[in-house]
């Protein structure tokens, strides 16, 4: 994995193209910063107030976008009391590119639910993800 920092998480503003009948929302192109190859893309719903935490990928680079609602992402490193918090969604339409080795969790902030898209560089592999119970990393979820 090498030495990583919370500053290694990239924030990329995304384009919304107004079209008749509804906007087109860009998510990721092969030429974008943060693109590390393609393994799979998947969506995850998160209910307002629900917390999904804690996970750390050992090989996967995540590229997360929230096209519906609003989600708070919280990131930290092993043994650190420092957190990086990013709120993204309809009001702040960006992509977060998260390298492997970063602990993360997220919470839905919009009712009734928000939609998270992850464009991952590798297919899901249960052997490359580590998990902790919500109580194992001390963060004050609102």
Residues 6+ apart with CB under 8 A from 32: 12, 95
Q: How confident is the model at residue 80 (pLDDT cuts 50, 70, 90)?
A: confident
Please check whether residue 137 is in contact with residue 76, taking contact to mean a CB–CB distance below 8 angstroms.
yes
What would the pLDDT profile of 46-78 be if each residue is shown by its tens digit? 999 999 999 999 999 999 999 999 999 999 998
Give me the domains of the chain, ranges plus CATH numbers: 6-133 (2.60.120.10)
Is this structure's pTM higher than 0.75?
Answer: yes
What is residue 1's predicted lDDT score, i.e. its pLDDT? 56
Q: How far apart, in whole angstroms, are the C-alpha atoms of residue 14 and residue 92? A: 9
Block residue for tokens 């194992």:
136
């Amino acid at each position: 994995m090498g030495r990583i920092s919370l500053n290694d998480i990239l924030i990329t503003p995304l384009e919304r193209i107004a079209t008749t009948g509804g906007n087109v929302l860009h998510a990721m192109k092969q030429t974008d910063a943060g693109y590390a190859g393609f393994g799979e893309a998947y969506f995850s719903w998160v209910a307002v107030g629900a917390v999904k935490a804690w996970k750390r990928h050992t090989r996967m680079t995540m590229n997360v976008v929230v096209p519906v609602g609003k989600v708070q992402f919280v990131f930290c490193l092993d043994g650190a009391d420092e957190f990086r918090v990013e709120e993204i969604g309809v009001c702040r339409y960006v992509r977060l590119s998260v390298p492997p080795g970063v602990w993360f969790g997220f919470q839905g902030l919009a009712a009734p639910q928000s939609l998270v898209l992850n464009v991952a560089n590798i297919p899901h592999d249960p052997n490359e993800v580590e998990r902790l119970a919500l109580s194992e990393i001390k963060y004050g979820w609102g």
